[in-house]
């Protein structure tokens, strides 16, 4: 099903673009991000959109109005006009009560308009009803499926990556001493020990940042599939072995575990709380309140000066003592319940989020071919309200049934026979043929040929053993090196070009030099590029 969302043609002249995008200023407390930067606004214009932005919308993210004007945007001072004239409104936060206009932002949206922002439909059913009464179409950036094809639209991952980084920076600021260990003339300083609970995008970013600062990092997650990712970042993965207890839901998120598993993980956290200096929690389950993982007893068991950073504070918090929007001291332990971690990196966060929105609108066909294709699994799951109808959660795509044969005649099914082991005669045939060939070469070939042939056979055997005994993951860098080394054949080509230029041997030698030169250059070039992947 394809739904076209066309602008009101009567309200626009032919000289105006097909569709207009409105970027209002965020009004949520502490929110510094903006839904479009001057750079992403230019990209939106290339898709055929006209971009209107509210005055001072990007100032908190270090994007002044002059930068938007230079990028070709129309700066609007009247927020009511912005909402009423926009075909598509791009926001960061879900609509709230607007104090300047003394009405809800959903009321500012024109009838039949379109809203793209974080909406959190599971937590905001009232918002969906408001949008439905307006006859609006709403796309929730938090509902974009986490599949490979939708990675460029995945605003949750973009923001979580920055939040994980910022959580470590805030922890280091509150901790009061360095993360890395040192040995000085005045004595030894032990490294900071960090426990990261939850190894999703935010958790992995926190692990990498803490390791980069020199801390000893441990991580826990209910999903065993993230173990290798944690270890690849240099952290220790804490495991609980439970049979038939997979911690990953169909969407790649963590799921609610059994009571026995929860009891075991709580015991693990209590044991770790005594030893670590910093705990960073990232655990969230879509559509549910944040699970309580750090109890008051765990906090009180931590050493004075320790820090707890609760990245789930906005959804209730993983720590029992978390106070959203606050940093406070509980018996010498700092508990960070900030809900604006991403906004504290507003410039970079706005750029990433704006890029996610650009890719979404590009997925929808830009301005000229703008439409909602509900057969597109990404668009289908992200659309929560369609022309006034609440369609969240998205129904599954109908799969085309495999046509069944109408005839009652039985269709013969081919039988697959197991491979029969080769007979003894066939097993002996190849060794006999190879031995006979080698005997014939040794008996009749000239002595000079025998010496070269022996080197050739040994080279084949050694090369095969080298490749065969190497882990398949290393085949690409290994082959690039062997290609470079095998280019030594260039020496043989140089020895053959000493004759007349018109002779066949000289021509073949020159070709060998040319091909070998390419082989040598390409081999070392590929090797260098792969080595650069491991450089910081």
Catalytic residues: 146, 151, 154, 157, 253
**Phi, psi (degrees; rounded to nearest 5) at 336:** -100, 110
Number of neighbours of residue 351 by Cβ within 10 angstroms: 19
* Torsion over CA: 259, 260, 264, 270 (sign): positive
To the nearest 10 degrees (0 to 180), the angle between helices 475-486 and 504-532 is 150
Whole-angstrom CA distances from 212 to 123, 150, 189, 233, 445 are 36, 29, 17, 9, 64
Dump the DSSP string for 411-475. Answer: PPPPPPPPPPPPPHHHHHHHHHHHHHHHHHHHHHS-HHHHHHHHHHHHHHHHHHHHHHTS-GGGH
**CB distance 104 to 95 below 8 Å:** yes
- Could you give the CA distance from residue 177 to residue 179 in angstroms, rounded to a whole number? 7
- Strand, coil or helix: 347: helix
Tokens of 339: 């809900």
**CB distance 509 to 473 below 8 Å:** no
**Phi, psi (degrees; rounded to nearest 5) at 4:** -85, 135
Number of neighbours of residue 398 by Cβ within 10 angstroms: 7
Q: What angle do CA 49, 51, 55 make, to 5 degrees?
A: 175
């Amino acid at each position: 099903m394809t739904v076209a969302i066309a602008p009101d043609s009567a309200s626009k002249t032919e000289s105006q673009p097909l569709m207009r995008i409105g970027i209002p200023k965020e009004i949520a407390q502490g929110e510094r991000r903006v839904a479009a930067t001057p750079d992403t606004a230019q990209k939106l214009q290339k898709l055929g959109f006209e971009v209107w932005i509210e005055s001072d919308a990007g100032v908190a993210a270090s994007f002044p109005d002059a930068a938007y004007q230079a990028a070709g945007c129309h700066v609007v001072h009247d927020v009511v006009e912005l909402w009423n004239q926009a075909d598509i409104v791009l926001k960061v936060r879900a609509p709230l009560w607007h104090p300047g206009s003394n009405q809800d932002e959903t009321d500012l949206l024109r009838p039949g308009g379109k809203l793209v922002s974080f909406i959190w439909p599971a937590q905001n059913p009232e918002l969906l009803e408001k949008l439905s009464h307006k006859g609006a179409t709403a796309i929730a950036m938090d509902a974009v499926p986490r599949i490979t094809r939708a990675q460029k639209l995945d605003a949750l991952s973009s923001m979580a990556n920055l939040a994980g980084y910022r959580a470590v920076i805030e922890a280091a600021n509150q901790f009061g001493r360095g993360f890395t260990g040192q040995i000085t003339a005045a004595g030894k300083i032990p490294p900071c020990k960090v426990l990261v609970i939850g190894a999703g995008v935010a958790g992995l970013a926190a692990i990498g940042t803490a390791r980069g600062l020199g801390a000893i990092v441990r991580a826990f997650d209910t999903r065993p599939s993230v173990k290798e990712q944690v270890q690849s970042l240099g952290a220790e993965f804490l495991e609980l072995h439970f049979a038939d207890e997979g911690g990953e839901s169909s969407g790649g998120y963590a799921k609610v575990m059994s009571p026995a598993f929860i009891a075991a993980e709580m015991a693990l956290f209590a044991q770790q709380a005594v030893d670590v200096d910093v705990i960073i929690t990232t655990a969230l389950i879509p559509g549910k309140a944040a699970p309580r993982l750090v109890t008051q007893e765990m906090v009180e068991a931590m050493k004075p000066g320790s820090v707890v950073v609760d990245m789930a504070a906005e959804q209730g918090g993983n720590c029992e003592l978390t106070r959203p929007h606050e940093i406070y001291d509980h018996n010498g332990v700092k508990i960070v319940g900030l809900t604006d971690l991403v906004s504290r990196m507003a410039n970079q966060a706005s750029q990433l989020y704006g890029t996610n929105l650009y890719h979404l609108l590009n997925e929808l066909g830009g301005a000229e071919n703008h439409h909602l294709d509900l057969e597109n699994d990404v668009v289908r799951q992200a659309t929560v309200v369609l022309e006034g109808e609440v369609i969240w959660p998205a129904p599954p795509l109908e799969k085309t049934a495999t046509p069944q044969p109408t005839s009652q005649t039985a269709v013969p099914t081919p039988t697959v026979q197991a491979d029969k082991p080769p007979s003894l005669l066939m097993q002996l045939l190849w060794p006999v043929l190879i031995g006979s060939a080698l005997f014939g070469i040794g008996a009749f070939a000239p002595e000079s040929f025998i010496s070269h042939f022996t080197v050739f056979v040994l080279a084949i055997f050694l090369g095969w053993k080298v490749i065969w005994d190497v882990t398949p993951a290393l085949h690409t860098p290994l082959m690039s090196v062997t290609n470079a080394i095998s280019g030594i054949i260039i020496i043989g080509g140089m020895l053959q070009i000493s004759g007349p230029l018109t002779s066949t041997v000289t021509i073949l030698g020159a070709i060998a030099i040319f091909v070998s030169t390419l082989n040598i250059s390409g081999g070392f070039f590929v090797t260098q590029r792969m080595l650069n992947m491991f450089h910081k």
